[in-house]
């Protein structure tokens, strides 16, 4: 039928868009490692510039695609502050810090943990009912969370023999766990207070149909929080940094707030591809398909990053890290599968006894 053909075409565009998103995210880690770290760019300052330049870009996109500019009310500012602290400050800053102290490969294998963190948080905060262990879906969800957590532990335990490298790698793994957990909290906050608020209060949020505006104001507060954190360098930590050039055997100093020209490629990539394009496509896809379908594409980022790392750095994972990555991906698939299984049918004579439960809609 024509309607089904239209649906399949739309689904095809969503699949293509999600592939582009994961390729874009995978390339971001490579760009940061190749250019920003080699140029000794401060992680906080890089993240600050990313959000400062991205905020007006997303605002323009929101006005064009969502009709006009919507400003947050005073009582809505704490929500956007929380979104900025988790989705931008915590997520983006801890990611780049993790990249600096590990590798793009390791950073990529942690990203499929985001849906697992999300499933865990919605259970902890009672956003959705806890798994019913009398059903296959309940067992799958618990299995997925445990296996994904085990995979992260396996990756952390695989440490280099050199003590200084091992210490940096451990810090990098901790930062990446914080990065994925922050993104999980960000998603749950959006779910509870914006997209699913009507199930709790009966009154839908005015932002529920404005995903680009939600992203834009989150970016604004992310930039403000990073600017506040960067005051540490102004008043206490110092605004200069030193770098040693092995080619000339000389040491040079520079102002950390004046990035070198080498940082332009990853910054442009971060603003237009990782933030503007990828976050825009994610928001667009979330309006068309279930979020579980969107997050199911995250393991593709691992494949993209491993291939790019091999080409650019001649870097690859060791056997234990591949095993940990496989466990994280298996956990993700189990959690995703559990959310796609419909609840058991209720006999007709019991339907009158049903009441709405948190996290479920009629």
Look up tokens 């957990």; give the residue: 181
Measured distance CA(45)–CA(241) in Å, rounded: 12
Q: Which two tokens stand for residue 51?
A: 């959000």
pTM, to two decimals? 0.75
Q: Which two tokens stand for residue 256?
A: 């950390």
Nearest Cα neighbor of 147 from 3, 328, 271, 314 is: 328
Question: Is the Cβ–Cβ distance between 239 and 11 less than 8 Å?
Answer: no
- Residue 70 burial by CB count (10 A; 0-12/13-18/19+): exposed, middle or buried? middle
- Per-residue pLDDT tens, the chain, 362 aa: give them: 555 555 677 778 888 888 899 899 889 888 888 887 777 788 888 888 999 999 999 999 999 989 999 999 999 999 999 999 998 899 888 998 888 888 887 888 788 787 778 778 877 777 666 777 788 888 887 888 788 778 877 776 766 656 566 667 888 889 999 998 998 888 888 877 887 666 666 677 888 888 889 889 999 999 999 999 888 776 665 555 545 444 454 445 567 778 778 888 889 999 999 888 887 787 777 667 666 567 667 777 877 887 888 888 887 777 887 888 788 788 777 876 776 666 665 455 444 433 343 344 33
Measured distance CA(226)–CA(220) in Å, rounded: 10
Measured distance CA(141)–CA(144) in Å, rounded: 5
Q: Which two tokens stand for residue 186?
A: 């960000």
Count of beta carbons in the 10 Å neighbourhood of residue 105: 24
The 8 Å CB, 24+ separation contacts for 342-347 are 343/135, 343/137, 344/135
The alpha carbons of the chain give a radius of gyration, in whole angstroms, of 22
Helices vs strands, H then E, count in the chain: 15, 2
Report the run of H or E that residue 259 belongs to, with start and end: none
Q: Which two tokens stand for residue 120?
A: 């865990």
pLDDT (0 to 100) of residue 239? 57
Nearest Cα neighbor of 87 from 125, 129, 58, 130 is: 58
pLDDT (0 to 100) of residue 141? 78
pLDDT (0 to 100) of residue 322? 80
Backbone dihedral region for residue 40 (phi beyond 0: left; psi -120 to 50: alpha; all else: beta):
left
Non-local (6+) Cβ contacts of 251 within 8 A are: 242, 243, 244, 245
């Amino acid at each position: 039928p024509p309607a089904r053909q239209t649906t399949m075409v739309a689904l095809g565009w969503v699949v293509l868009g999600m592939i582009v998103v994961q390729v874009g995210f995978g390339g971001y880690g490579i760009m940061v490692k190749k250019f920003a770290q080699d140029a000794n760019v401060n992680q906080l300052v890089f993240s600050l510039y990313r959000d400062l330049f991205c905020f007006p870009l997303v605002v323009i996109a929101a006005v064009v695609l969502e009709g006009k500019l919507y400003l947050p009310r005073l009582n809505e500012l704490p929500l956007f502050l929380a979104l900025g602290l988790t989705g931008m400050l915590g997520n983006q800053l801890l990611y780049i810090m993790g990249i600096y102290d590990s590798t793009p490969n390791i950073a990529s294998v942690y990203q499929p943990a985001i849906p697992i963190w999300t499933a865990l948080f919605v259970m902890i905060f009672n956003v959705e009912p806890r798994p019913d262990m009398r059903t296959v879906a309940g067992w799958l969800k618990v299995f997925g969370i445990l296996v994904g957590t085990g995979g992260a532990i396996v990756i952390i335990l695989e440490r280099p023999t050199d003590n200084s490298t091992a210490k940096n790698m451990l810090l990098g793994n901790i930062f990446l766990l914080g990065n994925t957990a922050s993104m999980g909290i960000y998603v749950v906050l959006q779910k509870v207070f914006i997209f699913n608020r009507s199930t709790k209060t009966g009154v839908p949020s005015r932002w529920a149909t404005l995903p680009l505006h939600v992203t834009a104001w989150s970016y604004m507060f992310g930039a403000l929080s990073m600017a506040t954190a960067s005051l540490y360098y102004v008043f206490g930590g110092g605004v200069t940094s030193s770098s040693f050039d092995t080619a000339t055997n000389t040491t040079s100093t520079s102002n950390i707030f004046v990035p070198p020209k080498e940082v332009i490629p990853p910054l442009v990539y971060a603003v237009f591809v990782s933030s503007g394009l990828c976050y825009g496509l994610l928001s667009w896809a979330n309006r068309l398909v279930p979020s579980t379908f969107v997050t199911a594409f995250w393991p593709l980022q691992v494949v993209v990053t491993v291939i790019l790392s091999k080409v650019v750095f001649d870097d690859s994972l060791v056997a234990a890290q591949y095993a940990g990555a496989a466990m994280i991906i298996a956990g993700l698939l189990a959690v995703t599968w559990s959310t796609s299984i419909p609840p058991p049918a209720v006999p007709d004579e019991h339907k009158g006894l049903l009441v709405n439960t948190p996290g479920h809609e009629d």
